[in-house]
Amino acid sequence: MGKQKIDEQQELHGFLTGENFYVQQILGLHEEDGKYVFRVWAPNAQKVWLVGDFNDWENTLLMEQDRDSGVWLIETTLPKQGDLYKFNVQRTDGTQIMKLDPFATRFETRPGTAAVIQSMGDKKWRDGLWRGRQKRSNHLKRPINIYEVHASSWRQKETGEPYTFHELKDHLIPYVKKMQYTHVEFMPLMEHPLGASWGYQLTGFFALASYYGTPEDFQEFVEACHLANIGVIVDWVPGHFCANEDTLPYYDGTPTFEYADSNRAKNRRWGVHNFDLGKPQVQSFLISSALYWIDTFHLDGIRVDAVSNMLYLDYDEGPWTPNHEGGNRNFEGYYFLQKLSSVLKQKHPNILLIAEESTSQTQITGPITTGALGFDYKWNMGWMNDILRFYQMDPIERKHHFHLVTFSFMYAFNENYLLALSHDEVVHGKKSLMHKMWGDRYKQFSQLRNLYAFMYAHPGKKLLFMGGEWGQFLEWKHDQGLEWVDLQDSFNYQMQIYTKHLNHLYKEQRALWEMEDSSTTIRWIDDSPEDSILAFIRQGHRKKDFLIIIVNLVPVERVNYPIAVPYEGEYEEILNTERATFGGTWEEGNPVCETTEQTMNAFSYQITPTIPALGVLYLRPKKIQIRKTEVKGGKEL
């Protein structure tokens, strides 16, 4: 809400045609010429009243409808700052129901759903240096390592109340910086009535959830992140909305925000309603919401949730209606997502657009001119499922299922992937990441270190959900803080040290991210299912800038194990996941490895390091000779 002068008819025409991407500047509540102006879109309502604290919630303020747009309007001087309000809608069947303002920027604390009249001033931002660097940077060739956070359960007060963003600024930012992450990503922060939805069943698409504090608090938080060189990403849900009757569903008594076809409108799996993504007004509403969050809070990225549900008509449970071609493609969703990415990239070329999408039927990343959706990154759900299945397996069986580790390399460059070990993998009886690992407690921590080292060496940006950095044993609970008491245990504390070290190493070693958008970043050394050893090269831009990655996936130490290398010289160990500092047993790592001239796997040289049981080694060239007549060994993907 702000003081402004607008061309009402022009703005409403843009809303009706789906081309107004700042529709919150006309709809909702505004101050204009010393009066409060309320507008709400309810095209088929019989009547709409403005009700609130200022008129004892009575039907005394009847709004007038603009027939062309279906928007109802009233101007009044009655309200004051801090008052609550709603719209009382008389629907097509004559019944009345109090509905929330879809464009409100503040709501009362849940379980209430009334909007709050509260002005928001213009912030004088101090993050220009950060934003300037992002404009000059190519994110595909930069490290991206995300710490995923559920804001109200990362840490809680003794009373069980969540920290507001004013408080998180002094606690979460120093932690993320200390742990060496490049970005923090929040599960949805928009207003929602049920904490058990984790924020994915939204009611206020333009409002920060009130229990997180004020919008000004979140602006200050983001600014502080940028001053600490940390990017901020927020999950956003344009596919569906909360089914509570006093929110968006059947707003005027008819399908307004949802599809007219009940098979498409009702989402049975999640108990929500699906947006009609082909309706111009809904497109304007949703794209305006995304831009509002990016503009108002200087976000560095948004992650679009549940993209598959927007792309495929049969994604939900139960009956579904085929499209006009008889297939399962949701054309409205497909074209909306292309429009969304096109508009956001036009307005903010450097914003990170990330999709949670679990199929391979649609190209998600890449330019829309090729038929893709225009996103920057796609969560690699196939890698996640395969790799977690493998690490839960008894090592005796792993040689028979080695494809679960290697298959992802075959498609690693089909999209721009983000490797995510997210909140979805540590709830609903799936066990925490540490608890998934095979074996006793020592072996579980060894394998968790192994998993993270393999993940960071695998092509793709990285994401880890909170608590995973120290191997929390218990599943995540949305209504409780993390088990910070775990850090009094030496294993958990050393695991946290390890993750911090690995994060730092990832940012420092250019070979791990510099050529991630090209298959030339990978060269295969050894794939030995019988020994359960995996070895490959991660290559940077410069020929000498590469790492040798060796992964041992069974609890058997491999002494003086031959590993082919491309150049003659010396190789030094920069990571050994079994070092005592990290909770392992190795007090010292491998000495510098010198090559012997021995043809192996089409390479001319080899080294013979000792590979720890359930351990991973990163080796880098210390002193090598690159000859023009070198054998170009190894298999590129």
Q: Which run of H or E residues covers position 289?
A: helix 280-297
Q: How many whole angstroms separate alpha carbon 129 and alpha carbon 581?
A: 37
pTM of the model: 0.96
> Which domains are seen in the chain, by residue range?
8-116 (2.60.40.10), 142-359 (3.20.20.80), 519-636 (2.60.40.1180)
To the nearest 10 degrees (0 to 180), the angle between helices 215-227 and 128-135 is: 60
- pLDDT, position 104: 97
- Clarify whether 305 is annotated catalytic: yes
**Where are the strands (E) in 35-116, listed by range?**
35-41, 47-52, 61-62, 64-66, 71-76, 84-90, 96-99, 115-116
Q: How many CA atoms lie within 13 A of 96 on its CB side?
A: 11
User: Consecutive sets of 10 residues in the chain, 637 residues long: mean pLDDT of each?
Assistant: 66 97 97 94 98 98 96 97 98 97 96 94 95 94 97 93 95 98 98 92 96 96 98 98 97 97 94 98 98 98 97 93 96 98 97 95 96 98 97 97 96 97 96 97 98 98 98 96 97 98 98 95 93 97 96 97 96 98 96 95 94 98 79 55
- pLDDT, position 353: 98
Q: How many whole angstroms separate alpha carbon 243 and alpha carbon 236?
A: 17
- Whether the CB-CB separation of 4 and 122 falls below 8 Å is answered with no
Lookup: tokens for 353 = 């657009």
- pLDDT, position 68: 93
- β-strands 183-186, 522-528 pairing: unpaired
- pLDDT, position 602: 86
DSSP character at residue 314: T
- β-strands 47-52, 35-41 pairing: unpaired
β-sheet with 546-552: strand ranges across: 593-594, 568-576, 616-625, 546-552, 533-539, 522-528, 635-636
- Clarify whether 356 is annotated catalytic: yes
Active site residue: 356, 357, 376, 425, which one?
356
Of the candidates 513, 631, 637, 519, the one whose C-alpha atom is nearest the C-alpha of residue 564 is: 631
Active site residue: 305, 376, 415, 514, which one?
305
DSSP character at residue 107: B
Of the candidates 318, 352, 319, the one whose C-alpha atom is nearest the C-alpha of residue 185 is: 352
**Where are the strands (E) in 372-430, listed by range?**
377-379, 417-421
- pLDDT, position 3: 43
Q: How many whole angstroms separate alpha carbon 265 and alpha carbon 101?
A: 21
Of the candidates 211, 200, 134, the one whose C-alpha atom is nearest the C-alpha of residue 165 is: 211
